[in-house]
A and B are shown apart, each in its own frame.
Chain A
Amino acid sequence: EDKVVQSPLSLVVHEGDTVTLNCSYEVTNFRSLLWYKQEKKAPTFLFMLTSSGIEKKSGRLSSILDKKELFSILNITATQTGDSAIYLCAGASQNAGGTSYGKLTFGQGTILTVHP
């Protein structure tokens, strides 16, 4: 059974702090690792990582994948109150033909609270 585990489950920081969110995965026929941010409603896409060791960056957010150790981290530098959200990671699997049918296995999420 596929499994994705995130840590910590919740985190409280002050504006300006840097945070690191962790995601470990065991996904059969692993294809990629995705990070989402969820505020009040639907998750919004942040990153998709398929290659090990290559950092993806968007503003103050960055993420990297280690396919040997089966984990990924999401870093947020200089946090702001607007970063308060649930951060979800998900492992995507592929079939024998190499395509992904959109099957994602999600972790429980990390609840990040940023105080002013």
Chain B
Amino acid sequence: NAGVTQTPKFQVLKTGQSMTLQCAQDMNHEYMSWYRQDPGMGLRLIHYSVGAGITDQGEVPNGYNVSRSTTEDFPLRLLSAAPSQTSVYFCASSYGQGIKYFGPGTRLTVT
């Protein structure tokens, strides 16, 4: 199993550009989530999904969209990038209670 994979690993955007961060898992997990990590703030939940076709907002959803058309994939879209979205983004998946598997992360810089 590849586990949770994320692409790209690094990305630099200009303010106003849009892009999609990809996340895929091959463990048939129902639950997938996106978190962002900023220095001194731990990880904060952006959006999550409990299964294909079902998504909901987390703590910091503004400026991001998600969709879940398959069990395996959970892309995160930045609609119009802002410098405040400079962060490290982690995708995670779990089958039961609690998240156990994180992807390797995407480091995003918005200039």
Contact = CB atoms under 8 A, between A and B. Distances in A.
Interface in B53-106: 56, 58-59, 90, 92-94, 96-105
A15 B103 CA distance: 30
Contact of A42 (B32, B33, B45, B90): B90
Contact of A41 (B31, B50, B93, B104): B104
Interface of B: 31-33, 35, 40-45, 48, 50, 56, 58-59, 90, 92-94, 96-105
Contacts of B96: 100
Interface in A101-116: 101-109
Contacts of B35: 106
Given A31-B97, A41-B104, A101 B42 contact: no
A24 interface: no
The interface residues of chain B, by DSSP majority, are classed as: strand
Nearest to B93: A102
Interface of A: 4, 9, 31-32, 34, 41-45, 48, 50, 88, 90, 92, 94, 99-109
Contacts of A101: 31, 48, 50, 56
A32 B98 contact: yes
Which 3 pairs across A and B sit closest by C-beta, in order of nearness? A106-B42, A102-B31, A100-B97
A104 B45 contact: yes
Given A32-B98, A34-B99, A42-B102, A102 B92 contact: yes
A32 B98 CA distance: 7
Given A102-B31, A102-B48, A48 B98 contact: yes
